[in-house]
Every structure is written in C-alpha cells, then in structure tokens.
Amino acid sequence: MLGNTNGPDHEGPLTILKLGGSVITDKDTPETVDDAALDGVLDAIAEAQPDSDVETIDDGHDGNQQPRLIIVHGGGSFGHVHAAEHGVSTTEGTTDAAAGTAIHGAMKHLNSVVIDRLQSRGVPALPVHPLSVATRNTERNLSLPTEAVTGLLDAGFVPVLHGDVISHAGCGLTVLSGDEIVTSLARSLQATRVGLCSTVPGVLDDRERVIASITAFEDVESVLGESDSTDVSGGMAGKVRELLALGAPAHIFGPDAVSTFLAGHQAGTRIDGR
C-alpha cells in the first residue's frame, strides 16, 4: 500500500490520467477518432499544463518539483475491433504475429493521433508502447518496468501509454487494458492522484446520480453488484474494487470534468480506500 501523497521527496506530484477508449473514439465505426471529444479533453490537458517547455522544466541537480503527468488511453474502436476479430482478450491469447501487429498497429495509430494533437497544443507528449516493455507470467501477474516512463518524466516529457497486446507466458499475446496500466504505474510510481475519464460522469447510484465518494466496497455493493476480482476488462464494480486498493485517491468522471480533476478538485466520484 502506498502512504505518500507527493511521491519521492525530490519529485513533484504525479498524476495519472486515463482517457477511456469510448470517450476518444467513435465506438460504432472501426478505427475512427471522436474528434470533438478527443479535442475537448486534450484542450483541457493543455490548459492545465503548468509549463510545456521541456528545457525550462528540467532544473538539473536540484530535482524537479514540477507536477508530473502520465496519460494512458484505451482502445475504443481501434484495439478492440482487431482484438475481437482475432479472438484475443485479457485471458484468451494468440500466437499469430500478424494478429499481434494488427491489434498493436491499431493502438499505435490511435496513440500517434493523441500524441500529435497534444504536441500541437504545446504538450511535450511522447509514446511508450507496452508491447515493447511489459509481460505477464503464467499466474497472470503483470510486469511493467517503469524506467522508460520515469526517464521521460525526469526529462520533462508527458509519457502517453495505451492498452496493447503483450507477451503472456503460455498464451502468446493477450490484451493489456489501459486500466491495468494505470493501476500498475500508480503503485510502482507512487502516484499522487489517479483519474479515469469515462463516458459516464462518475459511479452512479440506483437513481443514476453520481456517488460523490466511495471509501469501502460494501458501501456500493448493493448498487454495483458483485465484482469478480479477476475481471480487469472494465466492469464498474471491478474498477471500483481495484481503485479502492490503490493507496492513492482516484476519481472517475466524464469528459467535462477533466479540467476540474487536473486542477486538483473533486471530479465525479472520488474513490479512496486508504
């Protein structure tokens, strides 16, 4: 469990923001970006950047107190369409390299759109492709080394990772979801705050109202239903359970609340199991 609120002493607070694939793509049309939605969230990210100039962010040996940001995005109509076509999921693998490049290639394409649009807004975004660094063992445990990400952060960049296919012992390649990337990085890098930008404005109660705060799963179990702890692919119950165990405050919110979240305020549902 993480106890810190600001990361290691010499580093600034670390925020991890996930952009849901359903938010930034048109889920009904294969490999199609939802331009208005993507531009809206990227505008909010650009406006929240304290200083987009890499050279002025790096202050050498004294350490970098600048807030740090990692962006992760999901697959939407890019990765998921190809994954479904090839029967690949977080548990069903493929040993077909062409299937792997079809899924990975679609995600790289979406990632390049996100990166280009962030850079055009002055955000020093650079890609980190999980396929090249992450793996799962036979017990399904994820290993996601962080050096590539921390190296970019230390140099003042904004790393942008994405759901992907990765090697999985005994299965060939399986899907690594953006949510898993977020929780893995939040733990290993002791994130200060985590935000999941989703198509819904938060975790909803049985009358479709946003629940402001969740501190224990029992509080929402009757509304969300049982969660299978092995369900990493999206159900809200599983998501809430994962986020409660994170050791850092997490928020689930809609696209309109990205600015609010990045400004450090309450956005959507705050989930904090500490």
Instruction: List residues binding ligand IP8 (CB under 6 A).
Output: 21, 74-75, 79-80, 83, 103, 107, 163-165, 175, 177-179
Report how far residue 236's alpha carbon sits from residue 196's, in angstroms, rounded to the nearest whole number.
11
User: Smallest distance from the beta carbon of 50 to ligand IP8, in angstroms?
Assistant: 27
CA 50 to chain centre: 21
| 103 versus 267: smaller Cβ distance to ligand IP8 | 103
Residue of closest CB approach to ligand IP8: 163
User: Smallest distance from the beta carbon of 133 to ligand IP8, in angstroms?
Assistant: 15
| 15 versus 25: smaller Cβ distance to ligand IP8 | 25
Report how far residue 66's alpha carbon sits from residue 52's, in angstroms, rounded to the nearest whole number.
11
| 34 versus 164: smaller Cβ distance to ligand IP8 | 164
Are 32 and 26 in contact, with CB atoms under 8 Å apart?
yes
User: Smallest distance from the beta carbon of 177 to ligand IP8, in angstroms?
Assistant: 3
User: Smallest distance from the beta carbon of 184 to ligand IP8, in angstroms?
Assistant: 12
| 57 versus 107: smaller Cβ distance to ligand IP8 | 107
